[in-house]
Amino acid sequence: MPYASPSEIKRARRLRTETTDAEARLWTGLRGKQIAGHRFRRQVPVGSFIADFACLKAHLIVEVDGSQHLAAGRHDDHRTAWLQSRGYRVLRFWDNDVLQRTESVLEAIRLALLEAPTLTLPQRGREIR
């Protein structure tokens, strides 16, 4: 993963202070290794993108999408493809699902963490688990 530029770090810090209600609710369930002992970080620079939540050890990124993402579908698809090409799994949840079905969202994240990620190494073409 490329290092974040100073401007990306500054933007991530700003986003941490401008948390949406859905992000705040989800963070309450993710922080402090509450899910299967996995550590999540919020508003994490990954390449030129900033992930809402990331468990770097498990290569899992969780995105919380509001209504602004309805018009940003192509950008989100590009972003997801880029992240997946670097071995990340991406879970996306709508704001209203996080707010109304928090426990179900947390359970979906827990189940994703239990799955062993498969990373294909392009230079060798082999899979590791």
Domain ranges within the chain, ordered by starting residue: 6-128
| Integer Rg of the chain from CA | 15
pLDDT value at residue 69 = 46
Tokens of 44: 């994490």
Are residues 117 and 87 in contact, defined by beta-carbon separation less than 8 angstroms? yes
Amino acid at 22: A
Mean pLDDT for 99-112 is: 96
Mean pLDDT for 9-18 is: 64
- With a pLDDT cut of 70, the percent of the chain lying above it is 71
49: β partners: 46
At residue 39, the 3 state secondary structure works out as coil
pLDDT at position 109 over 70:
yes
Q: What's the CA gap between 65 and 63, in Å, rounded?
A: 6
At residue 37, the 3 state secondary structure works out as coil
Question: Which CATH number, 3.40.50.300, 3.40.50.150, 3.40.630.10, 3.40.960.10, labels domain 6-128?
Answer: 3.40.960.10
pTM of the model: 0.76
